[in-house]
Structure 1
Amino acid sequence: MDLLAAAGDRPVFEHGARAVTGAQMLGLVRRIAAGLRAAAVGPGDGLAMMLGVTPEAFAATIAAYVVGARAVGVRPGLPDGQLRHVLHQDITAVVTDAATGPEHARRTLTVAELLSTPGVDGPLRLSGRPEDVARLVYTSGSTGTPKACAQTYAAMDAAWTARPAAWPPAIRELASRLRRYLVFGSLGSQVMMEYGVLTLAAGGTMVVADRPAFPDAITRHRATASVITVPRLYKLVAAQRAAPADLSSLRALMVSGSPMEASRLREALDVLGPVVFQGYGQTETGTISMATPQDVPPSVGFPPDVVDVEIRDADGRPVPPGVDGELYVRTPAQAVGYWADPAETAEVFVDGWVRTRDLGHFDEDGRLYLAGRTRDVIIVNANLYYAGPIERALATSPDVAEAYVVGAPDEDTGEAVHAFVVPAADRIPDLGSLRTLVGERLGDACVPATITVLDEVPTAPNGKPDKRLLTTAIPRAGNSAP
């Protein structure tokens, strides 16, 4: 709210030909907050935010916090069963910019209806209580059923995103590049919204990309920054090699969702210039670290001073630099647990730490490197093998642009490794050579039983590679090609 007030007549949100200033956005927040209060929505009430990417959607999200409600971002494209589940998690009402709400909603409040309530003059009354849950953010579900991470108002208040004086060096460098930040998909996305708030704090403008195809959206909107997933970054690099577009406005691409192989990151920096920032974080923790274009690939940078990271072995003991282990993290704004899921909360939130279930290590200088997921394993002949190292080995081949590995039951070995690769531009992978490459680096047990060549990897609604869908595409025998 302070950022919007300070912006005054400066545009903070651009949607097509429409530019909304800080003062105008503050007015929208006031009116929608008044509408929510008139609808008897207040502290402790759950609001499912089913909204597009518009100025009003942003204002409605902020207004939900003003009245002290529990805002639940609903990602577009959820299967009907998941949507029904979300809307029955203690939801008081659905807030939507559509004419009607979903059939599963107990009560629907439209943005138009909320805006019709007269605003209030004077200082806004903020009703959030520190111990109340301010928002539920659903995990991607990449390792199972999506879970709702509960973040309190106290945790949101402790976050450094909106406070420039608290920015760590990597965030300070990124913030200087956020003059025109593309927003698309859903403001219910934690990543999209957090970078949006950072943009406001940096004096920039959130710019809506109704058609977020790259590189067209960047050139059309003269964007200086955008969030991008690893598969989309690879496609952008290939497109720039084939037919370069004018990306002279671009200053920052914030890669999220999955780690990058070092050679592919170097290629992206070579083709696009020093614009790639690789962020690492989780829904449970928020940002853990960020690598700037100047950092050493494939490190994800140095965690800031306010973030505690320990690398621990299977027995929970810290390991020395250079040794992989599970990352345990504490951040000022981390979640307090999973909504209505005490068993999973007890497993992940341990003595004030968050078990990330990611594998990684520090180098001697304190840089953080990721090595895969603790659950992303294949059990071959009763031995555990992580998918991450196999994927990275395959990706070192000049014929491979992307590599993904899954496990599946096998009559002889219990489970077997199955790989999916996307070819590099104008290359045809030799599957036998890829098997040899993996065997030489990691041993025979890691050699894929099948290697399937794909034109592109299938993605989940959040843009991450969908490994569960890949598992259903494992060929019954032999190799597979397009």
Structure 2
Amino acid sequence: MGEQRTLGRLAEVAWNRFDDYESLFFEGSWHRSQQLAGRARRACGGFTELGVRPGDRVVVMMANCPEVGITYQALWRAGAAITPVMFLVSPEELRHILLDSGARVVVTTTEVLPKVQAGADGLDVRIVLVGEETTGTIPFSQLDSGPEGPLVDRAEDDLAALMYTGGTTGRAKGVMLTHAGLYSAAGRRSEQGQVSDPPNRSIVPLPLSHAYGLIVTLIGMHSELPRVSVLMRWFDAAQWQRLAAEHRAQIGPLVPAMIQMLLADPGFGATPLPDLRYVTSGAAPLPREALDEFERRLPGVEILEGYGMTETSAIISSNPPGARRLGSVGLPIPGYQVVIRDDEGRELPPGTDGEICVTSESVMRGYWNADEATVAAMPGGELRTGDIGHLDEDGYLYVVDRKKDLIIRNGFNVFPRDVEDALTEHPDVTMAGVVGRPDPRLGEEVVAFVSLAEGSSTTSADLVGWMRDRIGQVKYPREVHVVDAVPVTSVFKTDRKRLRKMLDEYSSS
């Protein structure tokens, strides 16, 4: 049968694979591999002493720090399930997650503590704090300073992570991910597109509480080489460049908003990064112009776009090194089957746009406490992603847009991403977000929000005229609003929910 595919066992194997070495750099200090492993084993005992039992959910809402990974590994060792929560959620959103998940413990950091206290107010929830001791909290140092806890075996289909979706279309839903599903997804991603000299020094600015950050962490646990990571508490463009150069980073995961922030930094590219070979990009579409400009400023770097969602253990497809196709999010990861279907559920041929549907053992078990939503999302066990795209003749996947974000103007389909990509081709536009405005005659009208480069004198009227000539009568936005910053969600995707609110504010003013 082979080794049991559970994350507690994966951590144990990863700890024992190599001799002790400097494996994690964070805010000026190195953390050695066996030091981290020992802390996780002891924290396992600490969580057990605290009353955490196999199957319990524990919310992990922290700024990036070494204790995030230690907490994940300790809880998996104890047989519990992690519930990672982005530190940018509101107290109300956190309260919903606490009540819905049934978690009785939250692990947090000092910066986030007031929000956790507000969200947990009046609930039977214990707060474990990484940082200075604070009244009403349990110091994390107390958990990882006692005896080690034993490894608790779990079944492969047991819950390993309960991850809440962003809630942009309503209340956040808990996505149930299993041990085998996460184990398999990370293992297959680590094997896909292997090169003869695989990179092992990475710089990680992603929030580890996001699905993308979690899967990057798990991929590292599968590594056959000693893995050295530089972890950032949060992303800063200038610091990313300094750390990548100082530690000779070879690979780095980013999201498109981070790439745009780097490109907006006047000094980006001035510091050579000769060791950097690959940047992986996911979580949102990356405009082609941004990819080209990034690679122009950092010669020798290849951006590899991928695609995934929380419901699929964060991955579905990825461009293999040296075999990418520009504009594509790559080939399905081994173990993932991707089919394009029309609205009636019929499979569509290569080159035809339809809904992207996925089957894999790494697809979620379902939504927590939401059977109807599970059935709607997974008819027959196949996940309907809600994304529109197509496969080419060689199986490369192209994502066009979100089905729910589609704008129907005068009977014609307009995908916001097409308009956004065209806008960012303008030399003064640094970022763009597009939504539809109800229109009594046309059904919907196309409206854009843009941020401009510093010192730009380009006007909204200039951009409307420029777009009219560029993408034609149906698609071009009749309204363009210049804003200081196009809003993004806590996971750096264009926040269309906020854009629609802004549009309402413009309309009522």
Instruction: Give yes or no for TM over 0.5.
Output: yes
1:192 aligns with 213
By how many angstroms is 1:343 displaced? 1.9
By how many angstroms is 1:208 displaced? 2.4
Give the counterpart of 2:105 among 93, 104, 111. Answer: 93
2:126 aligns with 108
SS at match of 2:147: coil
Alignment of 1:43-58 (within 5 A): 43-58=54-69
Matched letter for residue 190 of structure 1:
A
Q: 2: distance between equivalents of 1:216 and 1:418?
A: 35
SS at match of 1:102: helix
Q: 2: distance between equivalents of 1:181 and 1:241?
A: 19
1:168 aligns with 192
Q: 2: distance between equivalents of 1:407 and 1:229?
A: 25
Q: Deviations over 1:282-334 (max 9, x none)?
A: 11112111125642211111223321111111211111111111100123322
By how many angstroms is 1:126 displaced? 2.5
1:372 aligns with 401
Give the counterpart of 1:73 among 56, 79, 84. Answer: 84
Maintained 8 Å contact 1:174/1:252 = no
Q: Does 1:291 align with 2:319?
A: yes
Q: 1: distance between equivalents of 2:169 and 2:188?
A: 33
TM-score (norm 1): 0.88
By how many angstroms is 1:427 displaced? 5.7
TM-score (norm 2): 0.83
Q: 2: distance between equivalents of 1:211 and 1:362?
A: 35
SS at match of 1:474: helix
Maintained 8 Å contact 2:23/2:30 = yes
Q: 2: distance between equivalents of 1:117 and 1:330?
A: 43
SS at match of 1:393: helix
Q: 1: distance between equivalents of 2:483 and 2:269?
A: 22
Q: 1: distance between equivalents of 2:272 and 2:169?
A: 38
- Which deviates more from structure 2 when the two are superposed, residues 315-324 or residues 456-465? 456-465
Q: Does 1:405 align with 2:434?
A: yes
Alignment of 1:297-312 (within 5 A): 297-312=326-341
Matched letter for residue 128 of structure 1:
R
Q: 1: distance between equivalents of 2:389 and 2:145?
A: 52
SS at match of 1:30: helix
By how many angstroms is 1:405 displaced? 1.0
Identity percentage over the alignment?
Answer: 28
Alignment of 1:230-245 (within 5 A): 230-239=256-265, 244-245=270-271
1:468 aligns with 497
Q: Deviations over 1:8-29 (max 9, x none)?
A: 3022222234322222222111
Q: Deviations over 1:250-303 (max 9, x none)?
A: 333222221123233222222223232212111111211112564221111122
Matched letter for residue 309 of structure 2:
Q
1:326 aligns with 355
Q: Residues 48 and 219 from structure 1, CA distance in 2 versus in 1: closer, same or farther, beyond 3 angstroms?
A: same
1:210 aligns with 233
- Which deviates more from structure 2 when the two are superposed, residues 345-354 or residues 209-218? 209-218
Q: 1: distance between equivalents of 2:269 and 2:337?
A: 44
Maintained 8 Å contact 1:406/1:418 = yes
Q: Residues 38 and 343 from structure 1, CA distance in 2 versus in 1: closer, same or farther, beyond 3 angstroms?
A: same
RMSD, aligned CA: 3.0
1:30 aligns with 41
Matched letter for residue 378 of structure 2:
F
2:368 aligns with 339
Q: 2: distance between equivalents of 1:175 and 1:339?
A: 42
Q: Residues 403 and 175 from structure 1, CA distance in 2 versus in 1: closer, same or farther, beyond 3 angstroms?
A: farther
SS at match of 2:117: coil
Maintained 8 Å contact 2:165/2:175 = yes
Q: Residues 51 and 211 from structure 1, CA distance in 2 versus in 1: closer, same or farther, beyond 3 angstroms?
A: closer
Matched letter for residue 182 of structure 1:
V
SS at match of 1:446: coil
Where does the alignment leave 5 or more consecutive residues of structure 1 unmatched?
A: none
2:6 aligns with none
Q: Residues 282 and 242 from structure 1, CA distance in 2 versus in 1: closer, same or farther, beyond 3 angstroms?
A: closer
Q: Deviations over 1:126-178 (max 9, x none)?
A: 2323332111112234454432211122323433x2478x7111xx3499224
By how many angstroms is 1:240 displaced? 5.5
Maintained 8 Å contact 1:261/1:395 = yes
By how many angstroms is 1:48 displaced? 0.9
Q: Does 1:4 align with 2:33?
A: no
By how many angstroms is 1:419 displaced? 0.9
Maintained 8 Å contact 1:327/1:355 = yes
Maintained 8 Å contact 1:459/1:466 = yes
Where does the alignment leave 5 or more consecutive residues of structure 2 unmatched?
A: 1-10, 129-139
Q: 2: distance between equivalents of 1:14 and 1:47?
A: 26
Q: 2: distance between equivalents of 1:396 and 1:33?
A: 51
Maintained 8 Å contact 1:47/1:91 = yes
Maintained 8 Å contact 1:5/1:22 = no
1:137 aligns with 163
Q: Residues 187 and 231 from structure 1, CA distance in 2 versus in 1: closer, same or farther, beyond 3 angstroms?
A: closer
Q: 2: distance between equivalents of 1:130 and 1:252?
A: 32
Maintained 8 Å contact 2:56/2:103 = yes
Q: 2: distance between equivalents of 1:398 and 1:151?
A: 42
